[in-house]
Amino acid sequence: MTMAKKITINDVALAAGVSVTTVSLVLSGKGRISAQTGQRVHNAIEELGFVRNRQASALRGGQTGVIGLIVSDLAQAFYAETTSGLTEALESEGRMVFLLQGGRGGEHMLARLNTLITQGVDGIIIAGSPGEAGAALRARAQEAGIPLIFASRANYPDDNDTVRPDNMLAAQRVTEHLIAQGHQRIAWVGGESSSLIRAERVGGYCATLLKYGLPFHSEWVAECGASQKQAAEAVQSLLSLNPTIDAIVCYNGLTAIGAWFGLLRAGRQTGTGLDRFFEQQVALAAFAEAREQGQYDIPVTWATISGREMGYLLAERILQRVDDPERVLHHAVLPPGLVVAP
């Protein structure tokens, strides 16, 4: 219960036989300190187990070592992974993360941003759609002189620093894969037509078909709600109207499972026997934004979009910005992965 004594730069200075100024200088690597003195100070720091008090440092105007993260909704797996990756990367750089939630529609983002600014952070990341608030957020951060980066799953057009996945490329990848496997009549199932993310993916799918001179019919692009059942029904009606379809790109993992059921129902799979589970006539591909793909034992080729990788990328970018706030705007893009069906 002995409250461990706090070590300050004064203690270090005393032990090293120098002044606090010198210690501070050594700590920040600023002023020109002789190698010898530097060594003495470092030794003292080591021996005493000194750690710089960020409160004091920040109070005096230095960096806080803290990055603020406002995520729209942590319960969304993709953003949970992003947060995990970001935190991991920043921890390894000796930084910390202030976590706040902005609401799915971004309704609290401005308030949270203000909180972060008054709390004192070195930089801020906003993960998820900021809704209407984008411009206001940007303005406020600039006013406070704090670097701000937006991260999201779709490409909301704006003039901010931005990190986002390459949805189009992901769609191209899976589509090309299906084509390389010999499929020629490829359909799309899933997502709501109002979704920006879906728009980008369908775009990539469509562009790839055309690029390879394959048929593209708008009737082959089916919209459906976010449930297995709806996906299964969409697939069935699609196949009954267009029996020649030999492959389907699905909007996400849930759609893929539903599509699988749909194929079974439509008799386009060999049966329900487990031993024959992995034989099929119509190939499936889908997008995976979380680790889910490892969980489903159905034969699907996945375009993976890793939240974790996005977190790493964000960490890198925000630290660059903190060190050099004057850099020009940058749009970073996260390349997709491809996991071929077994």
Partner DNA sequence: TTGAAAGCGATACCAT
Partner DNA sequence: ATGGTATCGCTTTCAA
Q: Contact residues for a second copy (CB under 8 A)?
A: 1-4, 51, 53-56, 58-59, 64, 66, 69, 73-75, 77, 80-81, 83-84, 87-88, 91, 96-101, 108, 112, 115, 118-120, 142-145, 227-229, 232-233, 236, 254, 258, 261-262, 264-265, 272-274, 277, 291, 295-297, 308
118 contacts which partner out of a second copy, DNA, none, CB within 5 to 8 A by kind? Answer: a second copy
What sign does the CA torsion over 173, 177, 178, 182 have?
positive
Q: Is 8 in the site for DNA (CB under 7 A)?
A: yes
**DSSP-assigned states of every residue in 42-72:** HHHHHHHT----HHHHHHTT----EEEEEES
CB of 22 to a second copy, least distance (A): 22
Q: Which is nearer to a second copy, 50 or 220 (CB)?
A: 50
CB of 172 to DNA, least distance (A): 48
273-302 residues in contact with DNA (CB under 7 A) are none
Q: Which is nearer to a second copy, 79 or 220 (CB)?
A: 79
Q: Which residues contact 207 (CB under 8 A, 6 or more apart)?
A: 168, 172
17-76 residues in contact with DNA (CB under 7 A) are 17-25, 27-28, 30-34, 36-38, 50, 52-53, 56-57, 59-62
CB 22 within 8 A of CB 33: yes
334 contacts which partner out of DNA, a second copy, none, CB within 5 to 8 A by kind? Answer: none
Distance CA 324, CA 317 (A): 10
Distance CA 285, CA 23 (A): 59
Distance CA 123, CA 116 (A): 9
Q: Which is nearer to DNA, 56 or 210 (CB)?
A: 56
CB of 54 to DNA, least distance (A): 8
Q: Which is nearer to DNA, 2 or 272 (CB)?
A: 2
Name which of 140, 138, 142 is nearest 150 in CA terms.
Answer: 138
* CA dist list (Å): 249 to 38, 118, 216, 220: 61, 47, 13, 10
CB 45 within 8 A of CB 86: no
Summarize as ranges the residues that interact with DNA (CB under 7 A): 6, 8-10, 17-25, 27-28, 30-34, 36-38, 50, 52-53, 56-57, 59-62
